[in-house]
C-alpha cells in the first residue's frame, strides 16, 4: 500500500444482524464484502449497528456475523464502530477484538483516533486524540461512537442533555481539526467515522430530520476538517460535498446494507470511497436487497382493483404490504384468504388493516345519577331521546328474567305489511331510536349490576 494513490475504503453500515433480519442482512453483507474484496479495497469500515439487539453467542445471527467479519479480516484491515446502544448493548463488539485473522479488527467503542499502518495494523490513540502522529501511518481515522444519550443525561441533566449534545459534539469535532490538518500536510488521507443523525438528513421513509436534539450538522462535521466523513444510523444513502480550498470533502451515510422494513425508498448497498489528502469521493454499490411493494386501499380492499394492480406491477418474489382502512362494522367483510391467493407468488405478505372505530357520544353527568331511572334520563337528555319508553323496559328487566322477556317479544304477533304501511316515517325512526336506546340501556343496566 502506498500513500500516493487515494485510499480505497469499503464502507458498510447498519447490518442489523438478528433473527428477524438474518436472511436479508447476511445475503446482502455477504455479497457486499465479496464485491469489496474483489475490487481490492485497502480497508473496511463498519459504521455501527452491526447487530439489531443483544445476541446470544449460540444464535445463528452471531455465528453468521462473526464468520463474515473474520472472512473480511483475513483480506483487509477492519474498523468496527459502536452504533446505537440499544442495537449494540455495551460490550457487544468486544468479541471482535479476539477474532484474529490476517489483519486486525479495530473496535471503536470509545472516542479516539486510530492510525492505519502500511502493514495493515491499527495503532490507537491513548486518549481522545493523538498528541503526535505515530510513525509509518498511511491514514488517520477519528472515531466518535454513537453518543450514549443516557450517559449524557446523567452528566448534563435530563433537561439540558438533548440540546447540549450537539454543542459538545461540535466542540470535540473542532478539537480534531488540528490533527487532521497535520496529517493532510503529511500527505495522508483523513477520515471521520461516526454514528448519529445529521440535521436535515432524510430518513429511509422520506422524513426530514429537523429536530434540535440531533448530534450533527453538516457544518459541525465539515469543521472537523477530515476529508471524508463515514456515517451510520440513517438507513438511506445520502451525501453532502464541499470544496472550500482544502480539496473536495464529503460526508456520506452508507445506508443500511439491506431492506429491513416496508416503505424504504432508494437502493441499498455499501460505499466505495477513494480518499486522498485533498480529495474524497464515494459511490454506492447496490446489494441484492429484497424488493418491497406497497398496495394501499382507502376503504375495503377491492379484489378486482388488486388483480389490476398485480398486472401493472407483478409481485413475484417481492415482499408485499397490503394496507386498508375500513369502518368497524365492515371489519369482517375483508377477504384475507382471497387476497392471499392472489398474492401467492410473493415472497412475503403483510396485511395491515386499520379499523376506523365508531365514535360514541359520552353521556356527561350519567355517573352522578344515583338511580337507574335517573341514569337513563340523563343519557336521554344528552342524546336528545325520549326516556319514557325505556322506563317500561327497565321495569320489565327489574321484574322478569331476560329469557322470559325475549320469549314474550317473540310471541307477540308480527306486524303485517298493512300495519307497516300505516306507520309514518317518524314512527319508524323513533322505533329504531328506541331499539338503540334499549341496547345502550341494557349496557348501563349490566354495568350497574356487575
Ligand atoms: Mn441502524
What distance in angstroms lies between residue 84's CA and the mean position of ligand 1's atoms? 7
What distance in angstroms lies between residue 13's CA and the mean position of ligand 1's atoms? 8
Q: What is the pTM of this model?
A: 0.78
Compute the C-alpha angle 380/381/387, nearest 5°.
40
| CA atoms of 282 and 267, how far apart (whole Å) | 15
Q: Is residue 364 part of a domain?
A: no
What distance in angstroms lies between residue 268's CA and the mean position of ligand 1's atoms? 13
Nearest to 232 by CA among 292, 163, 147, 171: 147
Q: Is residue 66 part of a domain?
A: yes
Q: Are residues 249 and 335 in the same domain?
A: no
Average pLDDT over the chain reads 89
Q: What is the pLDDT of residue 151?
A: 87
Model confidence band, residue 421 (pLDDT cutoffs 50, 70, 90): low
What distance in angstroms lies between residue 21's CA and the mean position of ligand 1's atoms? 12
Q: Are residues 382 and 341 in the same domain?
A: no
Q: Are residues 196 and 265 in the same domain?
A: yes
Q: Is residue 366 part of a domain?
A: no
Q: Is residue 377 part of a domain?
A: yes
What distance in angstroms lies between residue 324's CA and the mean position of ligand 1's atoms? 28
Stretch 35-62: mean pLDDT, rounded? Answer: 97
What distance in angstroms lies between residue 247's CA and the mean position of ligand 1's atoms? 30
Q: Are residues 104 and 220 in the same domain?
A: yes
What distance in angstroms lies between residue 68's CA and the mean position of ligand 1's atoms? 18
State which of 257, 286, 315 marks the end of a domain: 286
What distance in angstroms lies between residue 161's CA and the mean position of ligand 1's atoms? 22
Model confidence band, residue 245 (pLDDT cutoffs 50, 70, 90): confident
Stretch 352-369: mean pLDDT, rounded? Answer: 76
- Residue 38 maps to which CATH number? 3.60.21.10
Q: Is residue 362 part of a domain?
A: no
Q: What is the pLDDT of residue 437?
A: 57
**Per the structure, how many domains does the chain have?**
3
- Strands 105-108 and 78-81 come out as parallel
User: What domain range is 318 assigned to?
Assistant: 292-356
Q: Is residue 443 part of a domain?
A: yes
What distance in angstroms lies between residue 25's CA and the mean position of ligand 1's atoms? 12
State which of 356, 388, 410 marks the end of a domain: 356
What distance in angstroms lies between residue 170's CA and the mean position of ligand 1's atoms? 22
Q: Are residues 194 and 307 in the same domain?
A: no
258-306 confidence digits (pLDDT tens): 999 999 988 999 999 999 999 999 999 999 999 999 999 988 898 999 9
Q: Is residue 1 part of a domain?
A: no
Q: Are residues 133 and 216 in the same domain?
A: yes
DSSP 274-306: EEETTEEEEEEEE--PPPEEEEE-SSS--HHHH
151 versus 56: the higher-pLDDT residue is: 56
Q: Inform me whether the pLDDT recorded for 3 exceeds 50.
A: no
Model confidence band, residue 155 (pLDDT cutoffs 50, 70, 90): confident
What distance in angstroms lies between residue 48's CA and the mean position of ligand 1's atoms? 7
Q: Are residues 159 and 173 in the same domain?
A: yes
Distances from the Cα of 347 to the Cα of 16, 160, 288, 315, 388, angstroms: 21, 47, 14, 8, 61
Q: Are residues 180 and 265 in the same domain?
A: yes
Stretch 113-133: mean pLDDT, rounded? Answer: 96
Quote the DSSP letter at residue 26: H
What distance in angstroms lies between residue 62's CA and the mean position of ligand 1's atoms? 17
State which of 330, 356, 382 marks the end of a domain: 356
Q: Are residues 280 and 319 in the same domain?
A: no
Model confidence band, residue 415 (pLDDT cutoffs 50, 70, 90): low
Q: Are residues 350 and 222 in the same domain?
A: no
173-199 confidence digits (pLDDT tens): 999 999 999 999 999 999 999 999 999
Q: Are residues 227 and 342 in the same domain?
A: no
Stretch 224-228: mean pLDDT, rounded? Answer: 97
Q: Are residues 394 and 326 in the same domain?
A: no
Amino acid at each position: 500500500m502506498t500513500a500516493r494513490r487515494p485510499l480505497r475504503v469499503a464502507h458498510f453500515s447498519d447490518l442489523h444482524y438478528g433473527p428477524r433480519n438474518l436472511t436479508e442482512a447476511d445475503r446482502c453483507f455477504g455479497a457486499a464484502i465479496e464485491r469489496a474484496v474483489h475490487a481490492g479495497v485497502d480497508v473496511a469500515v463498519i459504521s455501527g449497528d452491526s447487530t439489531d439487539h443483544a445476541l446470544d453467542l449460540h444464535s445463528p445471527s452471531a455465528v453468521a456475523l462473526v464468520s463474515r467479519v473474520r472472512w473480511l479480516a483475513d483480506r483487509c484491515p477492519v474498523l468496527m464502530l459502536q452504533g446505537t446502544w440499544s442495537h449494540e448493548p455495551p460490550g457487544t463488539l468486544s468479541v471482535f477484538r479476539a477474532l484474529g485473522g490476517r489483519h486486525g479488527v479495530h473496535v471503536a467503542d470509545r472516542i479516539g483516533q486510530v492510525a492505519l499502518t502500511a502493514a495493515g495494523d491499527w495503532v490507537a490513540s491513548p486518549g481522545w486524540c493523538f498528541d503526535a502522529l505515530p510513525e509509518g501511518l498511511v491514514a488517520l481515522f477519528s472515531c466518535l461512537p454513537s453518543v450514549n444519550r443516557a450517559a449524557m443525561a446523567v452528566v448534563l441533566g435530563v433537561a439540558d442533555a438533548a440540546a447540549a449534545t450537539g454543542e459538545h459534539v461540535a466542540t470535540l469535532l473542532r478539537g480534531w481539526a488540528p490533527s487532521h490538518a497535520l496529517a493532510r500536510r503529511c500527505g495522508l488521507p483523513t477520515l471521520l467515522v461516526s454514528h448519529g443523525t445529521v440535521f436535515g438528513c432524510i430518513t429511509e421513509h422520506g422524513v426530514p430530520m429537523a429536530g434540535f436534539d440531533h448530534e450533527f450538522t453538516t457544518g459541525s462535521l465539515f469543521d472537523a476538517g477530515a476529508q471524508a466523513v463515514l456515517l451510520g444510523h440513517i438507513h438511506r444513502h445520502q451525501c453532502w460535498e464541499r470544496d472550500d480550498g482544502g480539496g473536495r470533502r464529503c460526508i456520506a451515510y452508507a445506508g443500511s446494507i439491506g431492506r429491513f422494513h416496508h416503505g424504504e425508498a432508494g437502493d441499498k448497498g455499501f460505499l466505495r470511497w477513494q480518499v486522498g489528502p485533498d480529495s474524497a469521493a464515494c459511490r454506492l454499490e447496490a446489494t441484492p436487497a429484497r424488493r418491497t411493494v406497497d398496495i394501499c386501499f382507502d376503504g375495503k380492499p377491492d379484489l378486482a382493483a388488486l388483480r389490476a394492480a398485480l398486472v401493472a406491477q407483478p409481485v413475484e418474489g417481492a415482499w408485499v404490504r397490503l394496507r386498508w382502512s375500513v369502518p368497524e362494522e365492515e371489519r369482517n367483510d375483508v377477504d384475507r384468504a382471497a387476497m392471499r391467493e392472489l398474492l401467492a407468488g410473493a415472497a412475503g405478505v403483510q396485511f395491515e388493516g386499520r379499523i376506523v372505530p365508531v365514535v360514541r357520544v359520552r353521556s356527561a353527568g350519567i355517573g352522578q345519577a344515583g338511580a337507574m331511572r335517573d341514569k337513563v334520563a340523563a343519557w336521554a337528555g344528552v342524546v336528545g331521546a325520549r326516556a319514557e319508553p325505556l322506563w317500561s323496559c327497565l321495569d320489565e328487566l327489574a321484574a322478569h328474567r331476560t329469557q322470559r322477556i325475549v320469549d314474550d317479544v317473540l310471541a307477540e304477533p308480527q306486524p303485517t305489511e298493512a300495519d307497516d304501511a300505516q306507520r309514518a316515517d317518524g314512527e319508524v325512526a323513533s322505533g329504531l331510536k328506541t331499539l338503540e336506546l334499549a341496547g345502550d340501556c341494557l349496557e348501563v343496566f349490566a354495568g350497574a349490576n356487575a
